[in-house]
């Protein structure tokens, strides 16, 4: 049937589960038709929307702008949805990406009323997903009704690139038999109970490609320090060659880090991550990356035509898995993954805020960073030392929101340097982070803060009445720098 006909199955108050992960493999035609139907009827009925990760603007943005969202989980990255969340108009559940299966099993989330799933092929035994798996297999299993968007806009070469595995209910699980990134443990098809399928909608819907900012001096500096660190760890015998499987978050910094592997003489690299992005295909082409396992392929608009047009060249070196496998803590620990994630701010003891601006306003969400940082062989957090033209320091006395505690942060890297925090007490960590990672414009004040904190004593010394002085100064004067107090916002 048409998307407009299928949209009539969606009712206000429903929990709607949709395939999609960081704009990849998202089913958006039926939701788009439902938005148009609400507009036509003059209605503002709201739904709860569950996905794998973030969705593109025609889904997250449009639903937010029209006031059609009641609750959203587990991740988002849309400016209009973000604004609606911070205004309190949309309830957002910021959940670790690996946790949704268990949340359903425990009844925290009720079974979806409808699952809408993107498919490149439809078969008797089920559907073949497109450029992401995410939570699609879970939604197909749990939803009361299923709508399939049979997507003619995705390349048939995707068929055979997926590995769908159901770990079963917790408390009764066998060990997941995955010991190498390239190992196939499941099937290439998501099983579907056809008695639940109420519509099949043919679409022609290529991915809306993720924006990818170009690298700059800061990202190149971060990548350079990290490559030097990896080389040092190899020389010391703390990292083997080939390197353990690598993970990286989404964005310009992560992309620049992987791009830097092109400049080192290492081969046999593997990836066990959430996403496969632009620079990883460059490493495939150079022969340095041998295999990548993830839950989604996300590409810039510049890179997408080449990769999707030549997907047959890569298909035997990629597996796409459900996110409760790609982000499974036990597998991450078993494989000894080296995790590289991004922080918004880091405090002088190594606690990381990756989700909130000035402690209150959500940016995107924790995503899968916690799945990896808590269980990785080596947990690295990268950040620009300062942003907004230097008005905001990413190194602060105390983070305004904590997503990753000092106990799961091994290494902090900015364009100015790297702090290896392993085996260090808080009093050893602070000077290292201040001297190696902070922007020079903020070091003197951070040194003075730490000096005063030492006089107060304690295992992790702080001056509580000044702990958020950087943030307070920004709120009052538009900059965290001391000199800005005399010039205001000029």
Catalytic residues: 274
Two tokens, residue 323: 């996110």
Q: Where are the beta strands (DSSP E) in 352-416?
A: 352-353, 356-357, 361-362, 378-382, 386-387, 392-393, 395-396, 411-414
Residue 133 is assigned to a ligand binding site: no
Sheet order of strands, 338-342 included: 318-320, 289-294, 269-272, 246-248, 338-342, 378-382, 411-414, 417-420
Residue 486 CA, chain-centre distance (Å), reads: 39
Q: Which residues pair with 137 in a beta bridge?
A: none
| Residue 359 is labelled as binding a ligand | no
> Residue 192's CB: how many other CB atoms inside 10 A?
22
237 annotated binding-site participant: no
Q: For the beta carbon of residue 187, count every other beta carbon within 10 angstroms.
A: 15
Q: Is 338 annotated as a binding residue?
A: no
Residue 412 is labelled as binding a ligand: no
Give how far the C-alpha of residue 57 lies from the chain's centroid of Cα atoms, to the nearest Å: 17
For residues 305 and 307, give the distance between their C-alpha atoms in angstroms, rounded to a whole number. 6
Q: Could you tell me which residues come within 8 angstroms of residue 107 by beta carbon, excluding any fewer than 6 positions away?
A: none
Asked whether residue 42 is marked as a ligand-binding residue, the answer is no
Given a contact cutoff of 8 angstroms between Cβ atoms, the answer to whether 200 and 150 are in contact is yes
Nearest CA-CA partner of 484 in 445, 453, 449, 437: 445
140 marked ligand binding residue: no
Tokens of 188: 């290439």
Which residue numbers belong to the known binding site?
249-253, 364, 368, 388
Which residue numbers belong to the known binding site for CoA?
249-253, 364, 368, 388
């Amino acid at each position: 049937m048409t998307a407009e006909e299928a949209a009539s199955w969606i009712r206000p108050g429903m929990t709607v589960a949709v395939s999609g992960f960081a704009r990849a493999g998202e089913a958006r035609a039926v939701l788009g038709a439902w938005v148009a139907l609400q507009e036509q009827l003059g209605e503002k009925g709201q739904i709860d929307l569950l996905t794998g990760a973030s969705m593109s603007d025609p889904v997250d943005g449009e639903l937010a702008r029209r006031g059609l969202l009641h609750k959203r989980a587990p991740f988002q990255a849309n400016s209009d949805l973000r604004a609606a969340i911070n205004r309190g108009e949309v309830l957002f559940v910021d959940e670790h990406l690996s946790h949704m299966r268990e949340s359903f099993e425990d009844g925290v989330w009720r079974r979806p009323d409808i699952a809408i799933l993107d498919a490149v092929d439809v078969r008797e035994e089920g559907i073949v997903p497109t450029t992401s798996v995410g939570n699609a297999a879970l939604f197909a299993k749990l939803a009361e009704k299923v709508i399939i968007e049979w997507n003619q806009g995705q390349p048939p070469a995707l068929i055979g690139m997926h590995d769908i595995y159901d770990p079963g209910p917790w408390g009764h699980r066998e060990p997941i038999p995955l010991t190498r990134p390239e190992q196939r443990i499941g099937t290439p098809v998501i099983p579907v109970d056809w008695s639940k399928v109420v519509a099949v909608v043919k679409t022609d819907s290529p991915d809306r490609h993720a924006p990818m900012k170009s690298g700059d001096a800061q990202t190149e500096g971060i990548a350079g320090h990290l490559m030097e660190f990896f080389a040092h760890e190899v020389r010391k015998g703390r990292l083997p060659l080939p390197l353990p499987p690598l993970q990286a978050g989404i964005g310009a910094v992560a992309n620049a880090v992987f791009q830097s592997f092109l400049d080192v003489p290492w081969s046999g690299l593997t990836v066990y991550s959430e996403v496969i992005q632009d620079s990883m295909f460059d490493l495939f082409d150079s022969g340095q990356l041998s295999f990548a396992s993830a839950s989604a392929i996300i590409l810039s608009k510049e890179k997408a035509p080449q990769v999707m047009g030549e997907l047959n060249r890569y298909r035997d070196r990629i597996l796409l898995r459900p996110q409760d496998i790609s982000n499974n803590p036990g597998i991450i620990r078993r494989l000894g993954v080296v995790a590289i994630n991004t922080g918004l701010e880091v405090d002088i003891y190594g606690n990381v805020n990756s989700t909130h601006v000035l402690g209150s306003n959500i940016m995107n969400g924790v995503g899968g960073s916690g799945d990896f940082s808590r269980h990785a062989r080596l947990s690295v957090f990268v950040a620009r030392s300062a942003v907004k033209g230097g008005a905001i320091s990413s190194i602060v006395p105390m983070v305004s929101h904590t997503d990753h505690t000092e106990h799961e942060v091994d290494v902090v890297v900015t364009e100015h340097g790297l702090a290896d925090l392993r085996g260090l007490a808080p009093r050893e960590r602070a000077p290292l982070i201040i001297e190696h990672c902070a922007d020079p414009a903020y070091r003197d004040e951070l040194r003075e803060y730490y000096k005063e904190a030492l006089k107060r004593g304690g295992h992790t010394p702080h001056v509580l009445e000044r702990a958020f002085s950087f943030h307070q100064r920004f709120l009052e004067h538009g900059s965290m720098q001391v000199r800005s107090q005399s010039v205001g916002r000029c």
